[in-house]
Structure 1
Amino acid sequence: MEASDAAEGSPRERILAVTAELLAEGGREAVSTRAVGSAAGVQAPTIYRLFGDKQGLLDAVAGAGFAAYLESKAGLEPSDDPVQDLRVGWDLHIGFALANPALYLVMYGEPRVGGEPAAAVAGMEVLAGHIHRIAEAGRLRVSEELAVQLVHAGGRGTAASLIGMAAGRRDLGLSALAREAVIAAIASEVPAVATPGPVSAAVALRAVLTETAALTELERGLLREWLDRISGGR
């Protein structure tokens, strides 16, 4: 790419556009301050001033790319089946990974001691929304936090495995099997209570409260009082 190809836009916009192209064409190794500066027509100090370092630049590109992806899916309306919507979300996640492998690996390729990049955090928030809807429907087998972590780990591992396969050997059946295994672990086919909602959930939990060993007798008594109060609000 020549500098003239990225002549339009602000320095930040040119740098992001150039970096995205270099990343897509050659992966993380192709992104260097020299290559980006030459193609974008800027000096290295400009890159450092705007993005801090190479990782900051890559994170900014990943954030912009993922934001564009989320915007393209903004018109998708949730259905009456939140578990099916989770399936759709999983498939879209894998599709994004395979269409943008280098970008995906910047987002999810290696754990960050200081936390995930903003693009990955945005993805987790979308996932948490899917999981919360399953919980509201009374179909979640585990806590919302654990469900989010399980789906995230399963999707991330599946995407990385598929990216690492030669295109001719890539079998998307792997993704479908992994997806269904994760969903079976976190969600039930039918609601745990006949009529999903706080009242029915409170009644169901009140009925089995004595079976838990996680609470002291005092804590069970307090929770029993709260559940009675909720279920009394029919």
Structure 2
Amino acid sequence: MEKQTKRSPAADTRERLLDAAASLLSHGGREAVSTRAVSAGAGVQAPTIYRLFGDMNGLLDAVATHGFRTYLADKHSLGDTDDPVDDLRRGWDLHIEFGLSMPAFYALMYGEGRERASPAGREAYRMLRRQIGRVGAAGGLRMSVDRATLIMHASGVGVVLSLLATPPADRDAGISLIVREQVLRTITTGHEDESAAPTDVPSRSVALHEALRSSGTAALTPAEQGVLAEWLDRMADADSVGRSRAGGRP
């Protein structure tokens, strides 16, 4: 007979507190998540929150992670295809869908700056960087992976927060698609016309950086690899900045 692992009383209490806080957040927004309301919903004394989470910020960080579990599971389930740019599209659409379907959790995570303090937020950002790194490794980026990741992340968050600030009946469903494709035109190659053909220095610089990042090389010390990576990023990003200032012309 298979032995079942029982959770400790503290783990059960912690889960009840998270469920209570998540329910309050979903139905009443951030303002509804108070020490008194959460402790009452979980059937415990208020000091228990501080014993298990340190303070209300610790509880809110845990609630944000709690709410992102489904999102991260869906993100992982997307997997990779042979088209890393299309994978970025699918990841973008999932992000937008999650934000609009769970507005209170999304606002808690991104609207209050908890993303980098939350394990779930850091994991989501790492996953986005890995996806963009695949594009870079294939020579498909016109700037460094870090800059492209920041641009795509900031744009996605901006779209969700802007749509959440708009009454549902007034939301333009096409905004997400327009911004998504504009971001892809900005960070990836393959969208040029004859009057705006860039050099291939950025894409080659990024591809080499990602190759070194994934496998390294015995010919260079770790310190030398770090310097080379910095140079490669600077070459990639300097070209993208120059093109932006020139209105897209080399």
1:49 matched to 2:64? The reply is no
Q: Which residue number in structure 2 is paired with residue 232 of structure 1?
A: none
1:145 matched to 2:156? The reply is no
Match of 2:96 among 94, 97, 104: 94
Cα distance in 2 for residues equivalent to 1:115 and 1:133: 23
Q: Which residue number in structure 2 is paired with residue 136 of structure 1?
A: 137
Query: Secondary structure of 2:76's match?
Result: coil
Q: How does 1:118-133 map to 2 (within 5 A)?
A: 118-133=119-134
Q: How does 1:143-182 map to 2 (within 5 A)?
A: 143-182=144-183
Identity of aligned residues (%): 48
Which piece of structure 1 moves more, 10-19 or 71-80? 71-80
For 1:53, give the aligned amino acid.
D
1:70 matched to 2:72? The reply is yes
For 1:189, give the aligned amino acid.
G
For 1:158, give the aligned amino acid.
V
Cα distance in 2 for residues equivalent to 1:201 and 1:124: 22
For 1:49, give the aligned amino acid.
R
Q: Which residue number in structure 1 is paired with residue 41 of structure 2?
A: 39
For 2:157, give the aligned amino acid.
R
Q: How does 1:194-205 map to 2 (within 5 A)?
A: none
Q: How does 1:24-35 map to 2 (within 5 A)?
A: 24-35=26-37
Stretches of structure 2 that go unaligned for 5 or more consecutive residues are 1-10, 192-198, 210-226, 232-250
Cα distance in 2 for residues equivalent to 1:107 and 1:135: 28
Q: Which residue number in structure 1 is paired with residue 61 of structure 2?
A: 59
State the TM-score, normalizing by the size of structure 1.
0.75
Cα distance, 1:165 vs. partner? Answer: 0.9
State the TM-score, normalizing by the size of structure 2.
0.70
For 2:178, give the aligned amino acid.
L
Structure-2 change in CA distance of 1:132 and 1:154 (3 Å): same
1:15-71 CA deviation, whole Å, 9 max, x = no partner? 000110100001100000100111100111110111112221111011122123212
Cα distance in 1 for residues equivalent to 2:122 and 2:57: 16
Number of residues of Structure 1 aligned to a counterpart in Structure 2: 192
Cα distance, 1:73 vs. partner? Answer: 3.9
Cα distance in 1 for residues equivalent to 2:92 and 2:77: 17
Structure-2 change in CA distance of 1:73 and 1:124 (3 Å): closer
Q: Which residue number in structure 1 is paired with residue 107 of structure 2?
A: 105
Structure of greater Rg: 1
Cα distance in 1 for residues equivalent to 2:107 and 2:67: 12
Stretches of structure 1 that go unaligned for 5 or more consecutive residues are 1-8, 203-218, 224-234
Query: Secondary structure of 1:74's match?
Result: helix
